[in-house]
Amino acid sequence: MLSLSTVLIAAWRWHRLLTIFDIFIPQTSLTCIVPIAQFFSLFLPGSSGDDLTRMLYLSRLAPGRGGEACATVVLDRLIGLTSVVLLGSFGVPWQWALLSTTRETHWLGIAIMAVAALVCAAAVIFLIGGRPTHRWFERRLRSRPAHSLRDEAARIWGLLCNNKRVVGKLLTAALVAQLIQCVSFYLAGVAVGIDRPFSVWMTFLPIVFAAQALPITVAGVGIREYLLILFLSVVAGVERERAFAASFAMFAIMLSVSFVGGVLYIFYRPRAKSTSGSPEASELSATFRPL
């Protein structure tokens, strides 16, 4: 249930992000697409399968505005990674004395804190200097030869600056989803006999989330197991067998959610009714029928 709740949060977050661009797609459609995308993430490295699947569905649901719709997938991924980094910036300092005992955990902790510093600096620029930076950004682009991609980048930055409150809500929702994921890992650990406090898991799980999103291995397999075994042994003194069992239990939960997405992929067929920008004209029908 916890993993399914993250699907609902992801669909809501994506829906609000699309409305910033005046792209109106029913949340029920997005709620179906999110688990389908998770299903296809099992076949490609990192999160690339998830992102590509969502982009393909959006190209059908928002004809004529595929580029903007796909940009929302990239922005949604960036917001998710930002929430992971911010969560790690709070958890890593708690156990820094233990993390610094081995070379691997020491440098991983430094990496997450360095990225967190960059993210915080970017957040300050966005929240405090949003409009001035938008004007500066636009002038810089206008001074160069005409290029549609540059114009689109300036427009996207302006839309985000004009919707700071919405972006803040999206980041908060992403943080909640990451916390739910941390609780799921904690409960998986309890199920295999790991009785360490939740705060211990919060120390390293954001690093695990960030690493498994990288396009290194299919569905993050191997990366997740290696890091869980490494951190649990260093921070909590957990045996390798129990750490691997916790990782396997969590992967089984992820497979169950992906199985739901596979079933939806068989029966769900979204169809766009119109390409205009109003919510009424852009209303989409979601049909469920076999192939």
Res 155 pLDDT > 80: no
Distance of alpha carbon 62 from alpha carbon 9, whole angstroms = 21
- Domain residues of the chain, as ranges? 2-288
The helix/strand/coil state of 215 is: coil
Look over the chain and give the mean of its residue pLDDT values, rounded to a whole number. Answer: 81
Name residues whose C-beta falls within 8 Å of residue 134's C-beta, 6 or more positions apart in sequence. 154, 157, 158, 161
Taking only the tens place, the pLDDT of each residue in 1-11 is 677 889 899 99
List the Cα angle 35/16/122 in 5-degree steps.
Answer: 100
Which residue, chain included where needed, has tokens 């109003």?
278
Taking only the tens place, the pLDDT of each residue in 177-194 is 999 999 999 999 999 889
The helix/strand/coil state of 271 is: strand
Write the CA distances from 208 to 41, 214, 224, 230, integer angstroms. 17, 10, 6, 11
Mean pLDDT of 83-101: 82
* Closest listed residue to residue 209, CA positions, set 220, 199, 218: 220
Mean pLDDT of 231-259: 87
Taking only the tens place, the pLDDT of each residue in 32-62 is 999 999 999 888 887 888 899 999 898 888 8
Distance of alpha carbon 209 from alpha carbon 84, whole angstroms = 7
Considering the entire predicted model, what is its pTM?
0.81
Facing residues of 288 across strands? Answer: 268
pLDDT score for 250: 87
Distance of alpha carbon 207 from alpha carbon 226, whole angstroms = 12
